[in-house]
Amino acid sequence: MINFKEEVEKRKEQLIQDIETLCAIPSVYNEKTIGENQPYGSECRQALDAMLAIGKRDGFVVHDENGYAGHIDIGDQEESFGILGHLDVVPVDSRGWDSDPFKVVQANGKLYGRGVADDKGPLLAGYYAAKIIHDLDLPVKKKIRVIFGCDEERGSSCVEHYFTKNPYPSMGFTPDAEFPVVYGEKGIVRFHITGNVKKDGLIAMVAGDRVNIVPGECEAIIEGNHKQYEESFKQFLSDHHVTGIIEEEGNCTKLVLKGKSAHASLPEEGINAVSLLATYLDTVINNKLVHFIATYLNDYYGKGLQINHEGLMGKLTMNLGVVKYVKEDADIELDLRCPHEIDLKEMCDGVKELCQSLGLNLESDIHEPLYIDPNSELVQKLHKAYVEVSGDTESQPQAIGGGTYAKSMPNCVAFGCEFKDEDNAIHGNNENIKIDSLLKSTEIFAKAIYDLIKE
Ligand SMILES: [Zn+2]
């Protein structure tokens, strides 16, 4: 039996030191310093150089893809197993931190610093796992290619570019999410609906500024004296257990309805203020936009549009995130998370046809889903290593509504590093990772990779 735990322990200090080195570089996208071989600015370039230097120091062959991404090859076999991580980080609000975000601090058994958990720490955990397999000279069929991009946080243009110049590994994982293992990510579709809609009682309607958030408040101005709406509006609010405001606005009426915000991947956890206010307005005015929202966009699962579907990854969800109606110009944005069984192009064509028949225009933006058979060798073996090391036999491989790096490469899933019941404050203040968890992740990775590539 190979004692991976002991091997990880031996390399603990070096691993932490390397995390300190990478996290000292504020590798946030920086438009001002974009240049040759540094498409995301000088700090991302520095982080890439630092990672390549780690690989060189340890005697491995490294590759720089013109500053977009790079890789370290561990082994020299033809076929490769990929570990896909990223070196860029999101900006910090240093007022909210208890320490310098770009100087790793150890306290309470944790490392604190921007990037310790997203994603420099997990990337290095993957690298050290690969290095252990190499150092022990274990018999393997594939080399391990550790790939790192510099633009994950803004949408992964880095690895998109990288994979136009480099082959895909035959399989792999991205340590940029959570355990146990994410085998499915719903497809993401964005709808942008626009059109000129006659006033017919509605002066303005505004809500939301981000399509991926359930709008928690919606405001509308309608024609007519507020007194005539007061009773019915208050009754409506009370019937739906929400609050709101009705008041005079010039010789018109202003209505505000307060719902509840939530993330677009789980819209049922919120209360969409737009669709609810539209439902009320549809009973008192005869405006086409209001009627459109109240009829077709009035649920979290696309039932009104007749695109609802429940698949292996769960339900299609729909969020009406942004509405702007001013001077008879309508502008609506929706965010849909779609199980992999749906033909997204066909779905978009259907909705476009419906919009056109109502005099509205629809543009759609499609991001295909990720789905790896949960019974595949890849998912099964990753999960097995997780269970063996963590002792957690309850958590099962899962499908999520969000999007990770795993979508950038075929036969790739998201695997670690956040453990359940731990909050690494990813993207937040005082981002942190437990040193024990980091070592455990490294052990899980080494075990899992070896199980997948051994001879
Ligand atoms: Zn990340």
Quote the pLDDT of residue 129.
98
Quote the pLDDT of residue 405.
85
9 belongs to the catalytic site: no
191-367 carries CATH number 3.40.50.300? no
Query: What whole-number percentage of the chain has pLDDT above 90?
Result: 93
Mean pLDDT of 284-299: 97
User: With 80 as the cut, is the pLDDT of residue 402 above it?
Assistant: no
The active-site residue out of 88, 176, 185, 217 is 88
In angstroms, what is the span from residue 260 Cα to ligand 1's centroid? 27
In angstroms, what is the span from residue 419 Cα to ligand 1's centroid? 15
Q: Work out the angle at residue 407's Cα, subtended by the Cα atoms of residues 77 and 299, and round it to the nearest 5 degrees.
A: 160
Mean pLDDT of 207-233: 95
In angstroms, what is the span from residue 118 Cα to ligand 1's centroid? 5
Quote the pLDDT of residue 403.
73
Quote the pLDDT of residue 1.
82
Neighbours of ion ligand 1 (CB under 5 A): 118-119, 176
Round the average pLDDT of the chain to a whole number and report it: 96
450's tokens: 């070896």
Among the ranges given (87-96, 107-116, 273-282, 445-454), the one the predictor scored with the smallest mean pLDDT: 87-96
Are the CB atoms for 119 and 27 separated by under 8 Å?
no
In angstroms, what is the span from residue 87 Cα to ligand 1's centroid? 9
Tally Cβ neighbours within 10 Å of residue 167.
10
Where exactly are the structural domains of the chain? 4-186+370-453, 191-367
Q: Which CATH class is domain 4-186+370-453?
A: alpha beta
User: How does DSSP classify residue 140?
Assistant: B
Are the CB atoms for 318 and 300 separated by under 8 Å?
yes
In angstroms, what is the span from residue 2 Cα to ligand 1's centroid? 31
More confident residue, 201 or 400: 201
In angstroms, what is the span from residue 203 Cα to ligand 1's centroid? 43
Strands (E), 41-90: 61-65, 69-74, 80-86
Quote the pLDDT of residue 100.
97
Amino acid at 138: L
Mean pLDDT of 318-323: 97
Question: Distance between CA 7 and CA 15 in Å, rounded?
Answer: 12
88 belongs to the catalytic site: yes
The active-site residue out of 151, 152, 176, 431 is 152
Instruction: Give whole-number Cα distances, 312 to 87, 181, 321, 380, in Å.
Output: 33, 16, 26, 17
Quote the pLDDT of residue 407.
87
Among the ranges given (194-208, 238-252, 394-408, 412-426), the one the predictor scored with the smallest mean pLDDT: 394-408
Confidence of residue 401 (pLDDT cuts 50, 70, 90): confident
Quote the pLDDT of residue 417.
92
In angstroms, what is the span from residue 143 Cα to ligand 1's centroid? 24
